[in-house]
A = this chain, B = another copy of it.
Amino acid sequence: MAERRPTIADVARRAGVSKGTVSFALNGRPGVAAATRERILEAAEALNWRPNHRARSLSVSRAFALGLVIARDPSLLGSDPFFPTFIAGVETVLAERGQALVLQVAGGGQAETEGYRRLAQDGRVDGVFLTDLRRHDPRITLVDALGLPAVTLNRPDVPSPFPAVCLDDRPGIAAVVDHLVGLGHTRIAHVAGPDDFLHGHGRRKAFLDALAAQGLPAGRVEVSDFTASGGTAATRRLLDAPDPPTAIVYANDLMAIAGINVAHGLGISVPARLSVAGFDDTELSAHLHPPLTTVRTDVFGWGQVAARSLLALIDGESTGDVELEPARLVVRRSTAPPSAPSETSPATPYPTPEES
C-alpha cells in the first residue's frame, strides 16, 4: 500500500542487473547485450517505471525546460495577441520533446533583469527566448554573461552570440504602402510602435523606405505605443492636423482599430475618406466593419521554429540563423481609393466595397 513509485533500483532488481546497466539500457547506450536490454525494458514496462525527472535533472545538470520572460505592463498584456500565440507554437514543440516552458512576467526593466537572473541561477531552464528586442538590447550581454543559451526573435542591432529566428516585417509594410499608393494615395501617415523596440523602429523605417521607393515624400509618423489608447491619441493628432492623411498605416491592429473608431467619431468614414491598414491580423480584424486590411505574420510558426532552434542550440547542434516566410499583406475593405480632393462633403458612412 506504500504506493511508492518504482525507482531504477526496483527495475534493476527485477531484471537481475545493476542500476548502472539499467540506466545504460534505457538510454539506448551501447555496451548492453541485446537480450539484457530486452529484459530490462520488460521489467521497466512491467513496473510501469518512469524516470524521476528531478533526479535526472540533478545528475545531468539540465532543467529540461525553456524560459520566457515577458516584460510588459500587465494591464496591457491582455490586448497583445503575440505572446499567447507564440507560446502556443513553442508548446507544440516542447510537448513532444518532454520539455516544459517556464514563464515569467516582469513589469519594469529592473524586474526583467532579475527574471533572467533568477531563471539562470536557479537552473530553472536550459535556455531562453529573447522576444521584443529593443535597440541596443542589454539582455544580449546579460543572458550571455549568465551563461544561458538563447535565441533572439529577429536580429539584434548589437553583436549577438545567439542564433536569430527571423520573420521580416518589412515586406508586409512595403506591401501595404505599395497597395495604398496603387490605390492613388499620396498623403499616407504611419502610427508607429515605440521607437526603442526593434519592431516599432523597423516598421517605421520600412514605411518610410517604401514611400521613398515609390518616389513620394516622407509621410507623417506618429510614434505611439501599440495600445488602443495610444492609437486613439495618435490618430486624433493626425486627423486634427491641417492637412490630414488620406491613409494611415498602423504598426498593429489594435491601434488601427482604435484609429478607425476615432475616424468614425469624427464623422470620417473608412475607407471612403480614410484608408486604414493594421498589422498582425488578429481574429477580430476580419470581423470589423469594414474588415481591416492588415499584414499577417505566422506567429505560431515563429514559436515552433524558435523552440526547435533553441533546443538544437542547447544540444550543441545549432543550425545558425533561420529565416521564416516574411509578413504578408491581407487586403480587406478598410482600404480604398482616396476620395477626390474636391469632394469635401462627407461620403456615405459605409460605402459598400466589393466582397473580399
Contact = CB atoms under 8 A, between A and B. Distances in A.
Contacts of A95: 104, 106, 111, 115, 118
Given A100-B122, A229-B283, A232-B287, 14 more contacts: A50-B121, A52-B123, A54-B58, A58-B58, A76-B283, A78-B282, A79-B282, A79-B283, A79-B284, A95-B104, A95-B106, A100-B119, A100-B124, A102-B103
Give how many copies assemble into the complex.
2
A81 interface: yes
A25 B329 CA distance: 63
A267 to B, nearest CB: 7
A324 interface: no
A105 B91 contact: yes
14 contacts: A50-B121, A54-B123, A65-B102, A74-B85, A78-B283, A79-B284, A84-B84, A100-B119, A100-B124, A101-B102, A229-B287, A232-B287, A254-B284, A267-B350
Interface in A105-133: 105-106, 111, 115, 118-119, 121-124
Nearest to A89: B74
Interface of A: 50, 52-55, 57-58, 61, 63, 65, 72, 74-85, 87-89, 91-92, 95, 98, 100-106, 111, 115, 118-119, 121-124, 227-229, 231-232, 254, 257-258, 261-262, 264-265, 267, 282-284, 286-289, 299-300, 349-350, 352
A339 to B, nearest CB: 17
B101 A104 contact: yes
A97 to B, nearest CB: 12
Nearest to A85: B78
